[in-house]
């Protein structure tokens, strides 16, 4: 037994070095430092104040709640420190056809009947000409979002509020700063400096150390590359390679600008499609984040900037800034002893707010496969396999939004409507077209309600519903659906307003503007 411990200690990985901070670096450092508390391992994070971060990832999806809980971050503290708000889903405008609007909610649609998916019963009711309304009428998150209200699920409570699932909007730079304080308190050492040299082992090719512009040399056993699109270690040093997905996702530019709030913050993100891209609107406590994501192959930057500025709701608070990117992923997220996280590992455009989740997923997979000093190739390959699956799952769901359009009013929309798509997505779309069936494989991020929301929201009506739905009594199902719809509407009206909920729970920052407090505290 003693002998085993000696061998284990000799091979124990003891020095982890992060290259780059930002959201990715400080998320990972805060998580990892929580467990490095035996005094025998060190975490060093290198970043330079002279190098900026992208910092516009201001919207998230529900798994972020689990990440914050893992770090014992109180939600009210988190919202207050990041000027955050709640997010119940995304409102899409002009995606199916100009003038269309639909909502992609977090949470479920209705309630299944005897194991039959609710959306199949909804499709049957529509097919028989019943007064089923919109499918959003059966979503607690959707109905609450429409009225600007919010409520949190309570364990053990028997209420439709428990069908709400939520995420957050927050200031990404404030989140990184908050996590930095947490990580440093837990023992992470921040090293200021710019890397000018990467040193590698002559035999293994592993990275052994990095040299900074102040002559400091930082050695490590495992390096986490959070250097952004540049990929300082994973690409510039290790030449890992990048898989280009721009033929499916031709967006390659984003222009971002913050604006003053013009009303209480909505509990949802908005995505409005334009001629060659789409515009986001993300409401925070102290401002609103805005941006125009577009394809430079179909629109000039000046025109994209003009469209963005012409569709703002509030006064700009800064000059717009342009970000350039290439959709795709590294061929290996983990190469040698370097793990890439965040933008250095790849980028799928922010349409469904998945960037921060891909960081979170990478961190969790690293924990599950945390290596010894001598990294096992099998475990490294397993990490890469899992990250590829996650990236491809997200890719397919984002591509769906473009493929499932009926727009023909611009060259861009004609291209994406008629383009070939990955086989994995084509199979899903065909299964939906036939009988509205959705099959999830492995550990896919987006659940059945998400696929239903986008497909129905963008006018993809299947040819028929699942025949199994015809086994249930039409009258009983119709009556149950009508009762369900009324219950969602009644429950939503009893919830506090979104702003009011944040204030009452202690999550509103004292420096955030207060002109809407009266409306915000209405019950």
- Residues marked active site are found at 87
C-alpha span between 125 and 108 (Å, rounded): 18
C-alpha span between 286 and 239 (Å, rounded): 42
Strand 195-200 to 85-87 pairing: unpaired
103 strand-pairing partners? 91
Calculate Rg over the CA atoms of the chain: 24
C-alpha span between 417 and 256 (Å, rounded): 26
DSSP string, 386-401: HHHHHHHHHHHHHHHH
C-alpha span between 345 and 357 (Å, rounded): 13
To 10 degrees, what angle do helices 75-82 and 63-70 make? 110
C-alpha span between 267 and 149 (Å, rounded): 7
Q: Which two tokens stand for residue 283?
A: 């409401």
State how far the alpha carbon of 419 is from the alpha carbons of 347, 413, 484, in Å: 21, 10, 39
C-alpha span between 23 and 54 (Å, rounded): 9
Compute CA 437 distance to the chain's CA centroid, rounded to the nearest angstrom: 25
Strand 253-259 to 269-274 pairing: unpaired
CA atoms 445, 449, 454, 460: torsion sign: positive
433: nearest Cα among 413, 456, 457: 456
Residues in the chain: 523
36: phi then psi, degrees, rounded to nearest 5: -85, 70
Residue with tokens 């508390």: 37
C-alpha span between 287 and 268 (Å, rounded): 14
Max CA distance (Å), the chain = 78
List Cβ neighbours of 1 (8 Å cut-off, separation of 6 or more): none
C-alpha span between 329 and 396 (Å, rounded): 13
* Angle, CA 307 vertex, CA 306 and CA 309 arms, to 5°: 65
List Cβ neighbours of 71 (8 Å cut-off, separation of 6 or more): 30, 31, 34, 182
């Amino acid at each position: 037994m003693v002998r085993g411990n000696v061998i284990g200690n000799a091979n124990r990985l003891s020095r982890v070095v992060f290259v780059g901070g930002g959201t990715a670096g400080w998320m990972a450092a805060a998580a990892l430092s929580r467990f490095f508390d035996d005094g025998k391992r060190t975490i060093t994070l290198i970043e330079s104040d002279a190098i900026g971060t992208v910092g516009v990832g201001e919207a998230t999806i529900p798994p972020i709640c689990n990440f914050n809980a893992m770090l014992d971050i109180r939600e009210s503290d988190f919202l207050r420190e990041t000027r955050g708000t709640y997010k119940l889903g995304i409102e899409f405008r002009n995606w199916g056809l100009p003038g269309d609007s639909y909502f992609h909610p977090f949470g479920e649609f209705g309630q299944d009947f005897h194991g039959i998916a609710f959306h199949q019963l909804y499709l049957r009711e529509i097919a028989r000409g019943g007064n089923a309304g919109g499918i959003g009428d059966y979503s607690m998150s959707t109905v609450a979002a429409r009225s600007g209200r919010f409520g949190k699920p309570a364990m053990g409570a028997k209420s439709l509020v428990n069908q709400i699932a939520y995420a957050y909007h927050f200031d990404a730079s404030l989140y990184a700063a908050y996590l930095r304080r947490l990580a440093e308190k837990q023992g992470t050492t921040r090293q200021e400096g710019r890397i000018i040299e990467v040193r590698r082992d002559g035999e293994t090719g592993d990275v052994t150390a990095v040299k900074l512009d102040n002559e400091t040399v930082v050695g490590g056993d495992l390096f986490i590359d959070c250097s952004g699109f540049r990929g300082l270690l994973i690409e510039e040093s290790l030449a890992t390679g990048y898989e280009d997905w721009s033929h499916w996702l031709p967006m390659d530019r984003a222009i971002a600008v913050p604006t003053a709030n013009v009303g209480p913050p909505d509990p949802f993100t908005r995505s409005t499609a334009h001629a060659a891209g789409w515009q986001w609107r993300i409401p925070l406590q102290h401002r609103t984040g805005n941006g125009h994501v577009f394809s430079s192959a179909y629109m000039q930057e000046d025109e994209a900037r003009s469209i963005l500025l012409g569709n703002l709701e509030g006064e700009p608070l800064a000059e717009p800034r342009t970000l350039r990117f290439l959709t795709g992923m590294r061929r290996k997220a983990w190469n040698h002893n370097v793990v890439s996280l965040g933008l250095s590992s790849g980028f799928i455009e922010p349409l469904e707010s998945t960037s921060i989740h891909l960081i979170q997923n990478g961190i969790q997979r690293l924990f599950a496969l945390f290596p010894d000093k001598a990294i096992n190739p099998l475990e490294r390959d397993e990490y890469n396999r899992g990250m590829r699956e996650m990236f491809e799952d997200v890719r397919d769901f984002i591509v769906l939004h473009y493929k499932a359009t009926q727009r023909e009013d611009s060259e861009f929309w004609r291209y994406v409507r008629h383009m070939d798509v990955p086989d994995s997505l084509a199979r899903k779309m065909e299964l939906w077209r036939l009988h509205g069936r959705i099959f999830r494989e492995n550990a896919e991020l987006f659940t059945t309600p998400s696929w239903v929301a986008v497909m129905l929201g963008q006018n993809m009506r299947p040819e028929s519903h699942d025949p199994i739905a015809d086994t249930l009594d039409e009258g009983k199902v119709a009556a149950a659906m009508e009762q369900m719809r009324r219950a969602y509407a009644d429950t939503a009206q009893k919830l506090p307003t979104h702003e009011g909920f944040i204030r009452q729970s202690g999550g509103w920052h004292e420096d955030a503007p207060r002109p809407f407090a009266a409306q915000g505290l209405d019950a």
